[in-house]
Structure 1
Amino acid sequence: MVDRSAHPSAFGWEFQIVTAISLAINNIENTVSINFEGPLEDVEVSLSDGHVIFSQAKSYAKTDIDEANNTGWNVKLTSAITGLFEVYLKQPDNSEFKYLVNYPYPLGKSKGGKTNFRVNEYGEISGTELTSQQVKIIREILQNCQDDDITKLSSEEFDSSFYQFLNHLSIGTYRFTNFKSDRRFSSLDSLIKDFLDANRFSTSVVRLRNHWIKQGETNLTQKDPVTRTEFLFAIALVDNTFSGNELFGQKVNTKQISRVYDRFVDTIEHAISMEDFNRELTADVLDYFELDNIDDYFYSDDEAIKFTEHYLENYLKYFKLNNLPESEQRLLTRFALARCLEERDLMSRLFNKGEIKNAY
């Protein structure tokens, strides 16, 4: 049975986050930042070549995707297509536009709208693959809208812009249902697994997905884009080494660490996403171990103990927590620094462009 108790807006935000994660994973080789709630569209993914993927994500919270009840589809389509076209008029070059939904017929079931779309079939169709009837549906929406940027266009300007817009447009259907169970995440989990397998990561799919969703929820309120580094660092955060309470392979003041661990993980994430921190740690590792290249570094508990004792004072500033006694601050800094050393190879892959592959 479908869970019809979920609040529509909360469900919609969750679907928006899921589409953002999917777009980021599928373009991670070139992704610079992900905005789960962009200034112009629902989701915005910026790529290294200046290309931007703008997406409108619309969903039904009270209708299972397997059902054909698409009441209100036209309102959603009108809002999404008008918004995307408005952005296209402002930024026509080096941009891509996506209308992504969780129901079978994004263009409706009448007037030829359902062609190319099927219940239980998911994927994207480019604007150039739409039938003439489907193009007519979209065209009429834009011709009848009251947006000043669109109505001021002459007939010739509108025609030229519209058909160019179709070349940059795609319409996609995602499996994302309103079930209470995690079945709604089956499609996303499959994509995350493909991504992890492609990059030889052993991270938990569910824990990584939950972290990214939490990250997206924070971004929805703060509005600031998530950088590629911040997004990928989740792989290190949810890895067993970072999520445990061990220091050099032994339990150390577990109660102390656990009491502030959630706050501390956020601090670790922030510090390791900083170029200054990575630059300083790399330089210290090369100097202390007398290496010419960071790739020659191999972790060992005994050597890590000596390293952290030697450089501890220099790194307290990166892992500072307010209202924390100095003894606990030093303990947690030792913990963080040890984890950074142990995961040096992983972090190097996460932060270096070209090291991470797309899911496909």
Structure 2
Amino acid sequence: MTIPEPGRPRPISGSESLYLDLVRSLAAIVVVLDHVQDLFRMPLLPRLGHEAVVVFFVLSGYVICNTADSRETTLASFMTARLARLWSVLVPALALTVLCDAIGRHFGTNPAVYARINADYPFLRIGAALTFLSETWVSIQPLSNGVIWSLCAEFWYYVLFAAFTFLPRGTARFLALAATALLAGFKALLLLPIWATGVLLQRWQGLRRIGRVAGTLLALGGLAVVVAITTLDIYGLAWAAARHSTSPWLFTQLAQAKTFWLDWIFGLAVAAHFAGMRRIGASLPLEQLAGPIRWAANLSFAAYLFHPPLLYLCASFLSPAQGWLALLITFPLIALLGRPAEGSKGWWRRRLEHLLPVVSRGIGLPWPRGATGSKAH
């Protein structure tokens, strides 16, 4: 068993990890159920996809910071692991998007579902997504896979975090942060505080010393705010206010950051809930469901990136009333295709461990020997 260094935050415990996996799985399902309503008539389902993405951002900031504190403790190992994780699912997702869109457009009985999906400059669209530049300053949607916007923002959060964490203070760090902020674009920067709440959840030592009563209050209070915002349709009111208070051009350009201030509040409530559950969550009887929870969580990333092209493909062959059939087709395909994609992280990491030093030295940046290895504390 490893013992954390004095003053260093402890790694996420097994019971907490299981709870976070449960939340991650449910959030992925919520996103799928939200997007199926863009293509099919399913009036009884809630529309909470945007809120689920905010949950993903908080989770990501927390888990990634925890990983940097416990395993990937060098810049090289951290970025190698992050790129391997992203590309292991992003590359298959883009390939699936190209394939599904081609089949749906040319052979589907209802190709009109793609009418709102821009298909011009396909190489530019795919290339921008692969290099995480789809949302830098203008939105470049990679065909039918619109959810990739959040992945592009998240990548630049990783780079900002890595530059701030691993680079020494001075000109190099300042230039790296400035260049990354420029590449991230204003929409990602407006949503950055959400991701940062996850980092705060990991790094704020006072939150780890709260008692059981305070933990219960944080868990229930955070959950109450989340429920209030979602059930009272506060997001709907915020979107309407944003539309009336900004110009049509700015409203369009803000894209998913239209209600960034409400996202900050929602993300803070989610982080407060997680902080409380970290203290009291061990009492939940989740161990009995550990197998299914872990299985679903391991597919959550694939579910998030694979479902848009699969749902569009279904919509090109099915009627708008057959949404449940589309889900019955989509979820098994995600499980079938997602397992090998999720399992390819090791292959990507080995390739990157050989490739990144070559690329780095080729552009004149130093890359220390053995830098990609992870170091546990």
Relative to total residues, which structure has the larger strand share, 1 or 2?
Answer: 1
Structure having the larger proportion of residues in helix: 2
The answer to whether TM tops 0.5 is no
- Provide TM-score, normalisation by structure 2: 0.27
* Higher RCO (CA < 8 A, seq sep 6+): 2
Larger Rg: 1
